[in-house]
Structure 1
Amino acid sequence: MVDYEVTVFTGSLDHATTYNDVYIKLVGTDGESHRTRLIDYKGPLAFIKGAVSSFTVSCSVSIGKLVLIELDKQRFSLFPEEDWFPAKVEITSPEGDTYTVPIHRWITDSEVHRFREGTALRAFEDNHHLGRYSREKELKWRKKEYRMIELKLEGLANCKKKWKDMHHLNRAFWHKTHMADYVQKHWKEDVFFGYQYLNGINPMLIRRCTALPSNFPVTDNMVFLHGQSSLGEEMKKGNIFLVDYKLLDGVKPNVINRKKQYLMAPLVLLHKTPQDQLMPLAIQLKQTPADDNPIFFPTDSEYDWLMAKIFVRSADFNIHELNVHLLRTHLLAEVFTVSLLRNVPMVHPLYKLLIPHTRYTLQINIMARLLLISKTGVFTEYAASGGEGMITILRRSMSSMTYSSLCIPDDIAERGLEDVPNFHYRDDGLRLWHIINRFVQGVLGYYYKNDAEVKQDSELQKWISDIFVHGFLSKKSTGIPQSFTSVAELVKFVTMVIFTSSAQHAAVNSGQYDFDGWMPNAPSSLQRPPPTKKGTTNENTMLDTFPDVNTTVKGMATVWLLSKQSTDFVPLGQYPTHHFTEETPCKLMKEFQERLEGFEAHVKARNGNLGVPYTYLNPVEVENSVSL
């Protein structure tokens, strides 16, 4: 007889405990053990939350190298069946070899569950017949459990009164963060209006302007009084920038509290001053030039100019929430996640690398569908783009999304923003991209030594194929790979997946209450049309245009919840569940964490010298996954 020492680690999650009887079978290259009930001196306490319990499993002869284990639990007598969350199992063989089997999964029934020994294996390396069988069975179950959800892109809470005055609105701003307080004090200022395009929650629209659009007829004498400069000269210097909300043109606005709402598709021209500030030069609120569509300038009356900026900020709120936030982080992360779960087994190195970046993504997206964008959802009922407009914006956003726009080095270059000063989203984002890329290169380079190994990995190819078909609707124009042909191509794509699911989501999510909690800076909707001629606005016009009290309060509460850090937040690079067991990926993981710590120190030092700190891409503030 030979003895195997089996150590079972029960997870530390709430309700991880089971008092059911637990059975194990060890399967190796040369044989297998009998199904054995795990009993030790702890008795029924062997599998309580956080327990580490050791057992002996005896075999008549050595089973060779461990391939997998089979686990099941059976209720004892009249006791109820209980869920159980084993974290991992370690097995020491009579030859002195130690094997680790990662589990990190709930077992909720009395069926037999197979879990692979922890060494990562690609499909073409899996030579044991039981290993291949368990791999196929796992993916068959996953395909049944996880399905692509079609987006159907083709086809003072009860008060409905207006705000009386700004004092009334100020009193409703009940909860303030440091940044939200700053926004309330500075929202009217041009310098802060420009700042938000770089370091607010939507840094994705601004681009360098080398030629004015034909539908934005701004002339030199409109923006450069006394001929001190010209648009042509400033464009040549790289000092003119454009934000175009054309994606909102013609979108049918919502009806809220039985009142028609208004959503513009503005064009905004900005100028980098010698003081390195980004200042708005001109605003046109509709796409088509006309006598009743004036171009507004900072030299206009206080409320003419302020109202123009308010309509821009409302457009920005709507395009940010639906395109930049919902589509380009939440829904993309869902596609990456579902394809991973359907096509890649636990033993695969890609699964081990990406699974921490999928935590809670499906759960939070289901909640969003139920509570935010359903027919009775908060966004549907209280945003200008809710209802029919939401479908139009999502459809247009899908058609304009490209692979390069999801890769921050390519995106920054395409928008001509490489040398814009004080652009902290760019600086921190690029640094995080390169840190993630180095980690991904190390891990995937360890498993894939050449391009041929990438090409022959059928599970890897199914993963990207599903993403291309279901996430990008099989459109070659997006630039998304249909298959992987090289290690470099794989590394870049996986870097994008991790960056999107962690850093990019943090950049466009975490500051929602900071920037949008004070409604005048980001109205979810506006209920009067924009002025058609100048000199007709005042404070009462602004108050009449703002959303009603209930719309404001619903929006404020929603962005507060969306940007609130979860109680079990896991920062980027931390891995409470260990899926890799080999020395090299574990070492690379530690180096990844050390580089993130170094970058965290850099961000803190930089922020100490800023009047307005940029914190959203500090690694300790970036969650590993889209989980909120």
Structure 2
Amino acid sequence: MADVDRRKRIKIEDKKVKGTLVLMNNHSISTIKDEVLLGRKVSLQLISAAHCESTARGIRGKLGNETNLKNWVSTVITRSTKGDSTFDLDFDWEEEIGVPGAFLITNRHNSEFYLKTLTLEDVPNCGRVHFICNSWVYPEEHYNKQYRIFFSNQTYLPWKTPEGLRHYREEELEELRGNGTGKREEWERVYDYDVYNDLSEPDKGSDHVRPTFGGTPDYPYPRRCRTGRPPSKTDPDTESRVPILQSLTIYVPRDERFSDLKMGDVYAYGIKLVSQGLRPGFEAVLDKISDEIVGTLENILKHKFESIPSNKFNEFSSFEDVLKLYKGGLPVPKFEFLESIREKIPFEFFRELFRSDGEHGSKFPVPQIIQGDESAWRTDEEFGREMLAGINPVVIKRLQEFPPCSKLDPRKFGNQNSTLTEDHIKHQLDGLSVLEAISYNKLFILDHHDPLMPYLRGINETSTKTYATRTILFLQKDGTLKPVAIELSLPHPDGDEFGVISTVHTPAKEGAKGTIWLLAKAYANVNDSGYHQLVCHWLHTHASMEPFIIATNRQLSVLHPIHKLLHPHFRDTMNINALARQTLINAGGLLEKTVFPDKYAMELSCNMYKEWAFTDQALPADLIKRGLAMKDPSSRHGVRLIIQDYPFAVDGLEIWSAIKSWVTNYINIYYKNNNEIQNDTELQQWWTEVRTKGHGDKKHEAWWPTMQTLDDLIQSCTIIIWTASALHAAVNFGQYPYGGYLPNRPATSRRFIPEPLSADYDELETDPEKAFLKTVTPQLQSVLGISLIEILSRHSADEVFLGQRDTPEWTDDDMALDAFEKFGEDLREIEGRILEMNLNEKLKNRNGPAKMPYTLLYPSSEVGLTGRGIPNSVSI
């Protein structure tokens, strides 16, 4: 019997466990191959999940023998694995290791590589073990402990982690947190917080100075990723900026950077912005290029617009003139002109000439808003519909007091209450009085007065000339909204303390009054465009999500179920936010150049963060707060909509409920009661850090969930996923479909309504199109803005949509995989219902006069400019 046991033991000890290591094939792989052949090593060691040993650094899982890469094989299996390179590995099986739960990898050659997966086959007493890595591995000298650690796709709550992995779990989180000091380098993976003190360039002068956002009562703001760059030369409180030509190198933790495929899209999108964005775009994108190159670019622009009379270069004279942007009437430069300056610009910007979707970058697509009808955007019906089914359907409120009252401090701003009277609107309410219309939930308001008024005097000292607007709408019997009055307000000329000067305009179709009404709607849209971009889009999705990403990586191990749940919804967000700080929201950046608040843009956003509350980001809570829904426990979604045909809310509640159902099913797999929530140390540290550091200026607010119950966790995770996926999709991917035609969504206005008896006033009647276009965004700025929102509205070739994962083996838990499959089925059913509703002619807000179906919350999409699709994350 002893001989038999000895022979069995020898057989096990001699066993080799086969492994397959997959690397992403890039420029460094050939270097790896050469150095492997020369004897330099990339080595791996398996770590036991169950069998431990005592070390100088505590109890750890037993380490197996080192195994080196061998048998280089390049494989191209499918489109998803194209470019991958596979290494076959033989691991010596050691009985005392048992089932491996992690492995160490040491990179001793001089280039980094992207490690995708490791798969072990036929592990004794276990079978297959899979490791999802998806991380860059740099040479050993870049790591404090020389090696990197990767865990298998098992899921463990902290107290259920096998003894052999606990130390490694804690060690990995310590690495990701860093020590809070020093300049961050390309290869680092450190997640840390900082305020927005990197938007100014004081070394350029006072025009390039903006406040620091975050950390003070006057300027509260979510935190962003710390880069540790040194201060500027002239202001020790302002972080120095990366040179504009190095924008793509701004620090984010290495694994948060775009994929090579996405980066190629970014390069190509940039080319289109340059080729169509005109001189203002060049100033922002190519900030420090030589006069010679600027001259070359100006020659290109001269060629581009050589067919346009010089006196028309900055103006559109008619709507037909605008349509030439999409019909080819405005010639654009061919890429060979860009090639003439390629060698003069020390930047990889011109590396890629075509995007991954194959579309040439020199022509504007026709926006959906004018595909079916080129003039429907002018109608009152379409104007009202877009507040329910447009690019910014999250601001409209039910009117509950008349006239509308201001919440601005009267000691500082005087009387800011509305001057609207019943006489202005009583003939448009289907025979109802104003009080009756309010009591029957028939009156609604798009109110941009209070957010804008504190900055309006300063804004109007720039090239912008605009009003603060209040728009009143009446809900008709067919479910559509009809605008009945627009109030335009300006600061009192004698000072803020004297209140406002206001005028009220009502619908008209003919003559000067008809043009003034069209202009009044344009001013309301200008307000809405800026508020949308700065608050609903940037602040409420991009900026508010970044602290959750940082805290999750600092406090929740990759083994934690909540990390696995949330991680897909953070993809690319830190990288796109870093680029935004560098080129969009910075002083003099593209956003200041293309939206009306100009240098006050981020201040307006900062001021609105004072009203931000995490729990209000839940869709049902948001609808209730705006008076668009009421609690109704008997309803399928727990709320009853006031406007039944409200496409954003109808589709949104479907998506919200599907997300919440998925989150509930997933969380219930791992947590059995409230005590387990309370005793989860990683979870509690995560939530504390989100509140006290990531959103530290809001840490004393009472509305934060306490994270003591299953309901707290389910609600919080649902809000995070909803915000990162569906809410962002709803306010982002319609930017070009709705706003790509600038008269429909002008981003700026340049003059006030002309005074009666003036030549400009006469033009309101004699040439209304010219009068309108002289008021809104000028030609060059329009093309720059259109180019920008076209980029922001596109899905990249590597997009991962809601209900999808970038790897099918993201967990080895069958119950979690089954729940996720159910989530995907729910989303596919929702897609069918959306298509069905869009075909229902009784639901007039689903298509409207523009014949443009509402698809912004349709979950799936193809690559490119589609006007639909919900990516998992804030990825653009």
Aligned to 2:516: 304
Runs of 4+ in structure 1 off by over 6 angstroms are 253-256, 287-291, 532-535
Matches within 5 A, 1:23-172: 23-28=43-48, 29-30=50-51, 32-38=62-68, 42-43=71-72, 45=74, 49-51=83-85, 54-75=88-109, 81-90=111-120, 92-110=122-140, 111-128=146-163, 130-144=164-178, 145-151=190-196, 152-153=212-213, 154=218, 157-158=278-279, 161-172=314-325
* Cα shift readout 1:66-106 (whole Å, capped 9, x = no counterpart): 2321122333xxxx534132323335322244332221212
Aligned to 2:422: 220
* Cα shift readout 1:32-58 (whole Å, capped 9, x = no counterpart): 354332456x34659994355553322
Aligned to 1:548: 778
Moved more, 82-91 or 114-123: 82-91
Decide whether aligned partners of structure 1 residues 291 and 325 sit closer, same or farther in structure 2, where only a CA change above 3 A counts: closer
CA contact (8 A) 1:70 1:115 kept: yes
CA distance in 1, matches of 2:373, 2:534: 22
Aligned to 1:627: 875
Aligned to 2:397: 207
CA distance in 2, matches of 1:477, 1:281: 41
CA distance in 1, matches of 2:390, 2:451: 20
CA deviation after TM superposition for structure 1 residue 6, in Å = 3.7
Decide whether aligned partners of structure 1 residues 58 and 543 sit closer, same or farther in structure 2, where only a CA change above 3 A counts: closer
CA contact (8 A) 1:4 1:94 kept: no
Aligned to 2:858: 618
Matches within 5 A, 1:275-314: 275-286=478-489, 292-299=501-508, 301-314=513-526
CA contact (8 A) 2:462 2:598 kept: no
CA deviation after TM superposition for structure 1 residue 308, in Å = 0.7
What SS does the aligned partner of 1:429 have?
A: helix
Amino acid at match of 1:293: S
What SS does the aligned partner of 1:439 have?
A: helix
Matches within 5 A, 1:408-419: 408-417=619-628, 418-419=641-642
Decide whether aligned partners of structure 1 residues 61 and 402 sit closer, same or farther in structure 2, where only a CA change above 3 A counts: closer
Amino acid at match of 1:223: I
Amino acid at match of 2:788: T
* Cα shift readout 1:574-593 (whole Å, capped 9, x = no counterpart): 11233311111111111111
CA contact (8 A) 2:119 2:128 kept: no
Aligned to 1:395: 606
Q: Of residues 220, 233, 250 in structure 1, which corresponds to 2:454? A: 250
CA distance in 2, matches of 1:410, 1:237: 21
Matches within 5 A, 1:333-482: 333-387=545-599, 389-417=600-628, 418-475=641-698, 479-481=702-704
Find out whether 1:195 has 2:385 as its counterpart: yes
Moved more, 346-355 or 460-469: 460-469
CA distance in 2, matches of 1:63, 1:477: 49
Amino acid at match of 1:403: F
CA distance in 1, matches of 2:696, 2:372: 42
Moved more, 503-512 or 612-621: 612-621
Decide whether aligned partners of structure 1 residues 525 and 134 sit closer, same or farther in structure 2, where only a CA change above 3 A counts: same
Amino acid at match of 2:469: P
Amino acid at match of 1:68: A
Q: Of residues 571, 587, 602 in structure 1, which corresponds to 2:801? A: 571
CA contact (8 A) 1:2 1:94 kept: no
What SS does the aligned partner of 1:281 have?
A: strand
Decide whether aligned partners of structure 1 residues 534 and 383 sit closer, same or farther in structure 2, where only a CA change above 3 A counts: farther
CA distance in 1, matches of 2:319, 2:153: 61
CA distance in 1, matches of 2:458, 2:121: 61
* Cα shift readout 1:557-579 (whole Å, capped 9, x = no counterpart): 11111101112111111112333
* Cα shift readout 1:307-357 (whole Å, capped 9, x = no counterpart): 111100000000000000000011122121111112112111111111111
Decide whether aligned partners of structure 1 residues 277 and 482 sit closer, same or farther in structure 2, where only a CA change above 3 A counts: closer
CA contact (8 A) 1:9 1:50 kept: no
Amino acid at match of 2:95: V
Decide whether aligned partners of structure 1 residues 184 and 470 sit closer, same or farther in structure 2, where only a CA change above 3 A counts: farther
CA deviation after TM superposition for structure 1 residue 376, in Å = 3.1
CA distance in 1, matches of 2:608, 2:536: 9
CA distance in 2, matches of 1:617, 1:506: 7
CA contact (8 A) 1:33 1:58 kept: no
CA deviation after TM superposition for structure 1 residue 454, in Å = 0.8
CA contact (8 A) 1:87 1:105 kept: no
In the alignment of these two chains, the number of paired residues is: 620
What SS does the aligned partner of 1:250 have?
A: helix
CA contact (8 A) 1:357 1:502 kept: yes
Aligned to 1:522: 745
Aligned to 1:274: 477
CA deviation after TM superposition for structure 1 residue 180, in Å = 4.6
* Cα shift readout 1:279-298 (whole Å, capped 9, x = no counterpart): 10111112779895211001
Decide whether aligned partners of structure 1 residues 380 and 329 sit closer, same or farther in structure 2, where only a CA change above 3 A counts: same
Normalised by the length of structure 1, the TM-score is 0.91
- Unaligned 5+ residue runs, structure 1? none
CA contact (8 A) 1:162 1:544 kept: yes
CA distance in 1, matches of 2:24, 2:538: 32
- Unaligned 5+ residue runs, structure 2? 1-12, 53-61, 77-81, 141-145, 179-189, 197-211, 220-275, 281-312, 327-363, 406-416, 493-498, 629-640, 841-845, 861-868
* Cα shift readout 1:238-270 (whole Å, capped 9, x = no counterpart): 1111111121113157779x9631242211110
CA distance in 2, matches of 1:54, 1:483: 49
CA distance in 2, matches of 1:45, 1:13: 8
CA deviation after TM superposition for structure 1 residue 365, in Å = 0.8
CA contact (8 A) 2:18 2:90 kept: yes
CA contact (8 A) 1:505 1:626 kept: yes
Decide whether aligned partners of structure 1 residues 470 and 193 sit closer, same or farther in structure 2, where only a CA change above 3 A counts: farther
What SS does the aligned partner of 1:603 have?
A: helix
Amino acid at match of 2:322: L
What SS does the aligned partner of 1:445 have?
A: helix
CA distance in 1, matches of 2:24, 2:64: 29
